């Protein structure tokens, strides 16, 4: 009989006192001045808590560690809440949970907005929940109009601004796909990089079939050469990225395994008395927590 699939979370939410949650990272109070915090606060005020914070029970201290949702918890406290329902992870807290969470991308946000509007949520209420004005909401709703499906698929899970898609709309579909592939190859999703790709786009691959008169042939040649050089580096970049991820994941598993070994008092005592050098190296590796934080 085959083994069943292990669940990552418990089936039922638990209600916990916010004051009892042990934070796993420090959040600066300055974050309250940012747009993300304002969005979270507005959403909680308008529609309540949709995505519960994620916690894990620490077996040693019997405390709940807050793995994800620090900003939500901070916003709940500002709204006067003292308790919150939480999703309980059953994974070992040694794994840096937050590093494996996919944040909401521009495409995912667009789809969420379209789905909510189709479900009957008014523009005014949805805009208030997202801390946006109605004009901005409508802009996000129409963000992908004019962008081909293949390019959207290439960028659907990438964290990038809406302005990048406005640049892509000025290109014909095949050029949009090439531009999206270039962004993925170099892991560059800034508006400035998209503008550079637009400038280097031949006139016949632009939607309006025109090039700016302000762009000289020398400048155009420079942008084209830069794009060609970027493409020539793609293979090396992808190879390095793959090998780096494999290395870090192997080190992550080794780190967790050694942590379990050293946490066993009998094993730790035996190693420290009979194999002091090995024990010291194990302790050093366990202390190398920076390796865990390098996974993007």
CB 117 within 8 A of CB 141: yes
Tokens 């979270």 sit on residue: 40
pLDDT at 233: 63
Residue 60 DSSP one-character state: T
Q: Strand, coil or helix: what is 136?
A: helix
pLDDT by residue for the chain (296 residues), tens digit each?
Answer: 445 556 667 888 899 999 999 887 777 878 888 888 888 888 888 878 878 888 988 877 788 988 888 999 999 999 999 999 998 887 654 444 444 444 568 898 898 888 888 888 888 888 887 778 889 889 999 999 999 999 999 999 898 999 999 999 999 999 999 999 988 887 889 888 888 888 888 888 998 865 554 556 566 566 666 665 665 666 566 667 667 767 777 777 777 888 888 888 888 888 888 888 888 888 887 776 544 444 33
State residue 90's pLDDT score.
Answer: 78
Take residue 53 and report the two structure tokens written for it: 């914070």
pLDDT at 290: 44
Sign of CA dihedral 82, 31, 23, 159: positive
80: left (phi > 0), else alpha (psi -120 to 50), else beta? left
- How high is the pLDDT of residue 288? 62
pTM of the predicted structure, to 2 decimals: 0.51
* pLDDT of the residue at 43: 82
pLDDT, position 229: 62
Give every CB contact of residue 137 below 8 A, 6+ residues apart in sequence: 113, 123, 126, 127, 130
d(C-alpha 94, C-alpha 89), whole Å: 12
């Amino acid at each position: 009989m085959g083994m069943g699939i292990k669940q990552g979370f418990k089936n039922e939410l638990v209600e916990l006192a916010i004051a009892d949650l042990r934070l796993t990272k420090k959040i600066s109070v300055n974050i309250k001045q940012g747009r993300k915090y304002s969005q979270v606060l507005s959403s909680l005020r308008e529609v309540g808590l949709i995505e519960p914070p994620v916690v894990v029970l620490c077996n040693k201290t019997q405390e709940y560690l807050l793995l994800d949702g620090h900003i939500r918890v901070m916003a709940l406290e500002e709204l006067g809440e003292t308790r919150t329902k939480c999703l309980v992870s059953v994974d070992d807290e040694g794994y840096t949970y937050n590093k494996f969470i996919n944040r909401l991308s521009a495409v995912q946000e667009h789809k969420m907005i379209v789905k909510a509007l189709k479900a009957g949520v008014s523009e005014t209420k949805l805009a208030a929940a997202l801390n946006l004005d109605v004009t901005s909401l409508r802009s996000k709703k129409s963000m992908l109009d004019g962008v081909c499906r293949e390019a959207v698929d290439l960028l659907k899970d990438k964290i990038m601004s809406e302005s990048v898609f406005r640049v892509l709309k000025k290109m014909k579909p095949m050029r949009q796909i090439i531009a999206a592939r270039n962004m993925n190859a170099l892991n560059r999703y800034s508006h400035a990089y998209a503008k550079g790709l637009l400038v280097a786009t031949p006139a016949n691959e632009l939607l309006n079939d025109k090039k700016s008169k302000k762009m000289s042939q020398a400048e155009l040649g420079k942008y084209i050469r830069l794009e060609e050089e970027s493409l020539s580096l793609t293979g090396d970049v992808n190879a390095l990225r793959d090998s780096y991820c494999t290395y870090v994941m192997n080190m992550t598993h080794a780190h967790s395994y050694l942590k379990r070994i050293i946490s066993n008092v009998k094993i730790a005592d035996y190693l420290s008395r009979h194999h002091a050098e090995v024990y010291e190296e194990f302790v050093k590796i366990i202390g190398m927590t920076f390796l865990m934080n390098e996974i993007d």
